[in-house]
Amino acid sequence: MSSPVSTERAVPGRPGTATQALQPARRAVIFDLDGVLVDSFTVMYEAFAIAYKEVVGEGPAPFDEYRRHLGRYFPDIMRIMGLPLEMEEPFVRESYRLASQVPVFDGVVELLTTLRARGFRLAVATGKSGPRARSLLGGLGLLPFFEHVIGSDEVARPKPAPDIVELALDLMGFTPEQAVMVGDAPTDIASAHGAGVASAGALWALSEPDELLAAEPGVVLRHPTDLLAMCPPVPRD
């Protein structure tokens, strides 16, 4: 198992080490979905290309720019990129059609199984819509691991606002100090910071992690199971 990239990356105004940021009092982990639990980028690229061709027309779809905004709700990305909101319908349609081709990252099932065995309660807070996220996780056999799967359409303000992380905390009955958010995008880290939750940056899907690191996650991880070193068994009450 690989080691965290850095266990000393301090977030201003927050605990300065991984052992402080992810102390044993943690009882919950909130995960982003795409790029953290599942490797959806190939399917996402195909769905985006089809939607672009149907709505905009011929020519290369600007997927690289789209990917820079991942973590946000799809309609918000379209507004930022100046693309038609009508792209959402074919993008969602194709995403459902191709969902069976989305692989789970190596180490994720081991991570989730161990966290649950250690007494952690788990949730997903994703840029996807709630129904699409739950459908994808259900098809991959991961849905039973999570108490709650929350989509960007189910909060007033999606990431980078803190609303989705705060809702996960409220649903599980935890304070910010009892949870950690794992994400691969600056929007995930910003959402965690805004909610007062410790953050862990996931590097396993990133070829260029500079933007994620610039968001100053409290801890950065190379492999999903690296998180286990920072999540000892939850003390029995």
Catalytic residue among 32, 163, 184, 188: 32
Q: Is 32 a catalytic residue?
A: yes
- Other beta carbons within 10 Å of 80: 13
> Which are the catalytic amino acids?
32, 34
